[in-house]
């Protein structure tokens, strides 16, 4: 009860500070802006007709309570966060903050400074970074500990790019983030931009040119369950599927300082919420269902529950019933989601499930891949051997980590022969490409090179072992080398697929080949492993100025561009042959105008014949515009 009263008072007081300090926005001129300096600096403040109060320890300057009255230049000789409050008459400005990094090491990572009243984090009774007096130490989760707080507090945040430029500086909201990773000494947190703090977006491409340009939320992650190990496990795994049709969080490592004190490496991630979905998809953030775990969180689960009931009562062996489910679930997205979790051997996948859909007619449920920390052998040296396919299709799994409800959809979809064949071939496609051992090891090497120059400071800050860090990275490499073979054996145990067969597809110049409608094979030799009893599908696609001639190989010469092939030989070799070709209509027929989504006429295209010849009727394949 005492803790609750203390917390309530603290929340009320700091929100009162924000309300008071947000009334006016005068410009306080700072002679030396926050940034990186080799030696100490003298900082002068100017705000005509204002009284200025400042602090350098993170405390919020409040007239008559905390902070010093500014009377002359402020000498800053070591890394410090300067916070300033301006008062003019009865009005108060927002608190501004400038962090001065004095003789700090250079870095290839961006640097983020968080300035927050120390009492909020470290007060022995109420501080968010301490257990507090009400934690139940006898239980692993330590319920009642302060770090389980969901409260939000005002802070100042600054983001400095790798060249030292401050690209963002404002008041923000701050709250702790994560599940069991809150038990670690380095706590994850999230920051949020709100009008009441000063700005409603972080207006900077934090993740580079290919990422979003603005953010309402950012998460600073301690690497979750991977803390003290590789420190990049989740980011590495999701990077393996970043080109798939699946939502994953963007990623960038950073150094974080709290009140001028170095706080280690944090992985900056996007926060999964309605803002995240609206930013990455053409959807209204206020008109979508975002569900979590079994069927909780934002939105109404009614339609989703009806879908589950339908699947429970109706066999999906029936193509009609399967088509009904396919109209409500993005089956390929779900397939990829499950394939990734199974390959990763993510033992915590049953507890981290999020899925969503727009509130629009015809929309389908899609799954989001996140929090994969338990994968790639987090707790087991030989996790590459684990039969995760059986784990993710178990009908009697324990309440945690794979309760029956968490495996329900995959189990029922696998009843359908069409889905099962597609699932097996799609899994084989990914094992041959995204999860191919050589490529995965190269990605691990890339992450090690990215972190290696920066890790010593982080390891020293948290008293962690470099030897263990390197050993954990080696564990990833072993998993990458051995995992594909075990997964293939698990597929053979689960399904009647026959023997493994090697496939070699040579693609000539002048076209590409679509494999199983999933992989696009370019002009070179492709090698992969598939299964004897699961036919593959090949489609030859000529490039502009070429045409498909034939398939050559074990099957003889086949002229049809679409080929369904059962692999009986080992290896099965096939070649797609293209030749140069000028279409007789080339230069005669021009696309004159295209209209997409015409409300009156629908989609249409206007062709113009610029020759004097009569052109035979054209066959146009129907594709949805846009």
pLDDT exceeds cutoff 60 at 241: yes
Average pLDDT over residues 292-310: 86
Please enumerate in sequence order all residues whose Cβ is within 8 A of that of 622, keeping only pairs 6 or more positions apart, or say none: none
Beta bridge mates, 329: 365
Please enumerate in sequence order all residues whose Cβ is within 8 A of that of 422, keeping only pairs 6 or more positions apart, or say none: 331, 335, 516
Residue 182, both tokens = 């809150």
Closest CA to 555 of 566, 547, 542: 566
Predicted confidence band of residue 14 (pLDDT cuts 50, 70, 90): very low
pLDDT exceeds cutoff 60 at 185: yes
| Locus of tokens 């690497």 | 223
Q: What is the pLDDT of residue 597?
A: 66
**Does the bond joining 571 to the residue before it have cis omega, within 30 degrees of 0?**
yes
pLDDT, tens digit, for every residue of 365-419? 999 999 999 999 999 999 999 999 999 999 998 888 899 999 999 999 999 999 9
Closest CA to 465 of 246, 228, 146: 228
Q: What is the pLDDT of residue 481?
A: 98
Predicted confidence band of residue 300 (pLDDT cuts 50, 70, 90): confident
Predicted confidence band of residue 574 (pLDDT cuts 50, 70, 90): very high
Q: What is the pLDDT of residue 566?
A: 95
Residue with the bigger pLDDT between 608 and 367: it is 367
Average pLDDT over residues 456-479: 98
Predicted confidence band of residue 314 (pLDDT cuts 50, 70, 90): very high
Predicted confidence band of residue 78 (pLDDT cuts 50, 70, 90): very high
Predicted confidence band of residue 10 (pLDDT cuts 50, 70, 90): very low
Rounded CA-CA distance 524/252 in Å is 34
Residue with the bigger pLDDT between 473 and 587: it is 473
Average pLDDT over residues 264-286: 96
Average pLDDT over residues 482-488: 98
Q: How does DSSP classify residue 12?
A: H
Q: What is the pLDDT of residue 143?
A: 94
Q: What is the pLDDT of residue 299?
A: 66
CB 551 within 8 A of CB 545: no
Rounded CA-CA distance 109/106 in Å is 9
Predicted confidence band of residue 618 (pLDDT cuts 50, 70, 90): low
Residue with the bigger pLDDT between 399 and 525: it is 525
Predicted confidence band of residue 619 (pLDDT cuts 50, 70, 90): low
pLDDT, tens digit, for every residue of 151-160? 999 999 999 9
Q: What is the pLDDT of residue 617?
A: 65
């Amino acid at each position: 009860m005492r803790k609750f009263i203390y917390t309530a008072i603290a929340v009320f007081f700091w929100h009162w500070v924000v309300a008071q300090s947000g009334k006016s926005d005068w410009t306080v001129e700072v002679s030396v802006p926050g940034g990186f300096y080799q030696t100490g600096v003298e900082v002068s403040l100017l705000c005509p007709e204002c009284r200025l109060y400042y602090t350098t320890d993170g405390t919020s300057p409040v007239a008559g309570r905390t902070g010093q009255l500014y009377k002359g230049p402020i000498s800053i000789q070591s890394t410090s966060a300067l916070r300033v409050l301006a008062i003019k008459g009865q009005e108060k400005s927002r608190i501004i903050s400038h962090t001065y990094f004095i003789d700090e090491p250079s870095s290839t990572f961006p640097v983020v400074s968080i300035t927050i009243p120390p009492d909020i984090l470290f007060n022995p009774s109420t501080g968010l970074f301490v257990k507090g007096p009400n934690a139940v130490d006898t239980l692993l989760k330590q319920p009642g500990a302060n770090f389980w707080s969901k409260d939000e507090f005002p802070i100042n945040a600054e983001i400095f790019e790798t060249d030292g430029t401050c690209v963002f500086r404002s008041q923000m909201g701050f709250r702790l983030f994560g599940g069991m990773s809150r038990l670690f000494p380095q706590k994850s947190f999230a920051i949020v931009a709100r009008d009441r703090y000063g700005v409603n977006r972080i207006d900077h491409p934090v993740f580079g040119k290919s990422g979003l340009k603005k953010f309402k939320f950012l998460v600073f992650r301690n690497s979750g369950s991977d803390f003290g190990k590789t420190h990049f496990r989740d980011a590495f795994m999701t990077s393996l599927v970043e080109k798939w049709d699946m939502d994953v969080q963007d990623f960038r490592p950073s150094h974080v300082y709290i009140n001028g004190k170095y706080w280690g490496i944090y992985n900056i991630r996007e926060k999964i919420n309605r803002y995240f979905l609206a930013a990455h998809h053409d959807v209204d953030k206020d008109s979508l269902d975002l569900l979590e775990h079994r069927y909780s969180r934002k939105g109404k689960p009614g339609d989703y529950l009806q879908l589950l009931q339908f699947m429970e009562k109706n066999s999906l062996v029936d193509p009609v019933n399967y088509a009904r489910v396919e109209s409500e679930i993005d089956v390929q997205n779900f397939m990829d989601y499950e394939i990734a979790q199974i390959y990763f051997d993510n033992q915590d996948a049953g507890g981290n499930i999020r899925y969503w859909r727009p509130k629009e007619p015809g929309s389908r449920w899609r799954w989001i891949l996140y929090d994969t920390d338990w994968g790639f052998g987090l707790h087991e040296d030989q996790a590459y051997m684990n039969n995760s396919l059986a784990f993710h299709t178990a009908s009697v799994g324990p309440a945690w980590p794979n309760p029956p409800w968490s495996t329900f959809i995959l189990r029922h979809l696998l009843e359908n022969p069409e889905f099962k064949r597609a699932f097996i071939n799609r899994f084989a496609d990914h094992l041959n490409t995204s999860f191919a051992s050589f490529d995965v090891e190269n990605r691990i090497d890339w992450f090690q090179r990215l972190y290696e120059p920066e890790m010593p400071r982080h390891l020293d800050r948290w008293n962690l072992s470099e030897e263990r860090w390197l050993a954990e990275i080696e564990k990833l490499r072993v998993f990458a080398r051995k995992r594909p073979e075990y997964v293939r054996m698990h597929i053979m145990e689960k399904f009647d697929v026959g023997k493994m067969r090697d496939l070699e597809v040579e693609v000539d110049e002048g076209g590409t080949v679509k494999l199983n409608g999933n992989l696009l094979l370019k002009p070179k030799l492709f090698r992969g492993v598939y299964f004897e009893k699961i036919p593959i599908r090949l489609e030859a696609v000529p490039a502009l100025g070429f045409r498909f001639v034939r398939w050559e190989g074990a099957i003889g010469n086949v002229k049809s561009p679409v080929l369904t092939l059962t692999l009986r030989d080992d290896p099965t070799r096939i070649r797609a042959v293209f030749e140069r070709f000028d279409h007789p209509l080339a230069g005669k027929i021009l696309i004159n105008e295209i209209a997409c989504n015409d409300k009156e006429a629908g989609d249409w295209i206007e062709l113009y014949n610029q020759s004097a010849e009569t052109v035979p009727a054209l066959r146009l394949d129907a594709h949805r515009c846009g």
